[in-house]
Structure 1
């Protein structure tokens, strides 16, 4: 487990965080297809909080994209870096997530975030932010839509419905990973197309609603948080 400090110069208030979002959003790469689904390695990242103590724990779990076998995992724990502000959650989570990723022995081919990329009111969610800072291909797979709705979605595994902004842009997709089960909400983050992001998500979720990367990172970060606050 890595113990982290809040990085020097990290935004401390909403105005500065919004300015950083505006600056970094221009660096998002959206014209790359991304890594081929089912090849290489994929990392899932997630965080858990103890708000009373102001502690955050992050986990990165790397799996073989074909077999879903875990090949490496790491955790990082530190102080919460930013207050809770909807739309700015990346500033709370990223110092710990970046520390967990840096602890890996090799960079994964893709990072799957429990959150949003393009499907964010400012088009710059956690997956996009993380991708820009690390240079890694990244996608967001969220449990709930943030501010974007969608039309009727078919009941079968693999059925999708677009998440559209007011201007008509498709910012993500509702994706049914299991028959008759609530969908997940997929969006491109950085250096990965939306079609590729959906294909990866389906391969990573052969049995359950959520990708295995997310499920395992969620469990690991909770274990790390529990150990840290004891």
Structure 2
């Protein structure tokens, strides 16, 4: 698939924050997004023990059967130091490389990370959505930002993820009975209800969506073989 370079990559935290602020108005947040995506891509990045080397993977699933239809993986090095709230800048350059390896242009991208549930409302899913122009959502394993009540214990139970002013920035979603929830937030060209519905569809058996599980396996294997 084609991905254009829309900006130069920052060399300092100050430049990175300024870039997030500049790109945030480009987000399209009123679109309900794809209701029946034919293909859904999951992206994940694994790190070597030294913290510098990484592998970025993308796995494209059939939106109905969840069968894998295409996958790609590349290895590289972290492009930015670890700074809270700027984690996307470590991964995005390599993620864009791996997306360009795809023959398929997915109808939806699912990131292992945050979208609007971010201190500057511009997490990895937002940034990737702006760069690709594709509907993009984030499903995070842990909470990066916001506060919430505990959702019910059954699959499908939710609680709003709120900022300090009470604005909804995401949703805490229980994908399986009695397991820890995941943290869903929109990135670009999709609404929160649709993102949560797709997260449940992608998680028929396990806590994490199959998009994330398969991309995680692929990236870890690439690191082992590197």
Inter-CA distance 44–29: structure 2 relative to 1 (3 Å threshold): same
Unaligned runs of 5+ in 2: 1-5
CA-to-partner distance for each residue in 1:186-210, whole Å, 9 max, x for gaps?
Answer: 0000000000000000000000000
CA-to-partner distance for each residue in 1:3-49, whole Å, 9 max, x for gaps?
Answer: xxxx9942111011111111111111101000114x31000000011
Structure 2-normalised TM-score? 0.94
Q: Which runs of 4+ in 1 moved over 2 A?
A: 50-54
Question: What pairs up with 1:24-103 in 2 under 5 angstroms?
Answer: 24-37=23-36, 39-50=37-48, 52=50, 54-103=52-101
**Helix, strand or coil for the counterpart of 1:26?**
helix
Q: CA deviation at 1:129?
A: 0.4
Q: Distance in 2 between matches of 1:91 and 1:51?
A: 19
Q: Distance in 2 between matches of 1:77 and 1:152?
A: 38
Inter-CA distance 168–53: structure 2 relative to 1 (3 Å threshold): closer
Match of 1:212 among 210, 213, 223: 210
Aligned length: 221
Unaligned runs of 5+ in 1: 1-6
Q: CA deviation at 1:147?
A: 2.3
Matched, 1:165 2:163: yes
Q: Distance in 1 between matches of 2:27 and 2:127?
A: 8
CA-to-partner distance for each residue in 1:82-116, whole Å, 9 max, x for gaps?
Answer: 00001001100001111111100021000000000
Q: Distance in 2 between matches of 1:185 and 1:150?
A: 10
Q: Distance in 2 between matches of 1:41 and 1:99?
A: 19
RMSD: 1.4
Q: Distance in 2 between matches of 1:8 and 1:206?
A: 38
Inter-CA distance 166–96: structure 2 relative to 1 (3 Å threshold): same
User: Which deviates more from structure 2 when the two are superposed, residues 49-58 or residues 212-221?
Assistant: 49-58
Inter-CA distance 8–201: structure 2 relative to 1 (3 Å threshold): closer
